[in-house]
Chains A and B, each alone.
Chain A
Amino acid sequence: GAVVSQHPSWVICKSGTSVKIECRSLDFQATTMFWYRQFPKQSLMLMATSNEGSKATYEQGVEKDKFLINHASLTLSTLTVTSAHPEDSSFYICSASDNNQPQHFGDGTRLSIL
Chain B
Amino acid sequence: GENVEQHPSTLSVQEGDSAVIKCTYSDSASNYFPWYKQELGKRPQLIIDIRSNVGEKKDQRIAVTLNKTAKHFSLHITETQPEDSAVYFCAASKSGGGADGLTFGKGTHLIIQP
Residues of A within 8 A of B (CB): 31-32, 34, 36, 42-46, 49, 59-60, 93, 95, 97-108, 110
Q: Which residue of chain A lies nearest to B98 when distances are taken between CB atoms in the complex?
A: A97
Question: Residue B98 contacts which of A45, A93, A99, A105 (CB distance < 8 angstroms)?
Answer: A99
Measured CB to CB, the nearest residue on chain A to B91 is A44
Binding site for A on B (CB under 8 A): 1, 34, 36, 41-46, 49, 89, 95-107
Q: For B97, list chain A residues within 8 Å (CB).
A: 97, 100-103
B104 engages A105 (CB within 8 Å): no
Does the CB pair B98–A31 fall under 8 Å? yes
Do the beta carbons of B95 and A44 come within 8 Å of each other? no
**Min distance, Cβ B86 to any Cβ of chain A, angstroms:** 13
By beta carbon, the residue of chain A nearest B43 is A105
Tell me, in angstroms, the Cα distance from A55 to B98 when the chains sit together.
17
Select one of A42, A93, A102, A110 contacting B34, CB under 8 A.
A102
**A103 nearest CB neighbor, chain B only:** B97
| Docked-complex contact B99 and A100, CB < 8 angstroms | yes
From A10, which residue of chain B is reached at the shortest CB distance?
B41
Interface centre among A32, A44, A93, A105 (most CB of B within 10 A): A44
Which of A46, A98, A101, A106 is within 8 Å of B102, CB to CB?
Answer: A46
Of B1, B89, B99, most A-chain CB atoms within 10 Å: B99
Instruction: Give 11 A-B pairs besides A100-B98, A106-B43 with Cβ atoms closer than 8 angstroms.
Output: A31-B98, A46-B102, A49-B100, A100-B97, A102-B34, A102-B98, A103-B34, A103-B102, A105-B44, A108-B42, A108-B43
Contacts of A108 in B (CB 8 A): 41-43
- Complex: how many Å from CA A34 to CA B99? 9
Contacts of A107 in B (CB 8 A): 42-43
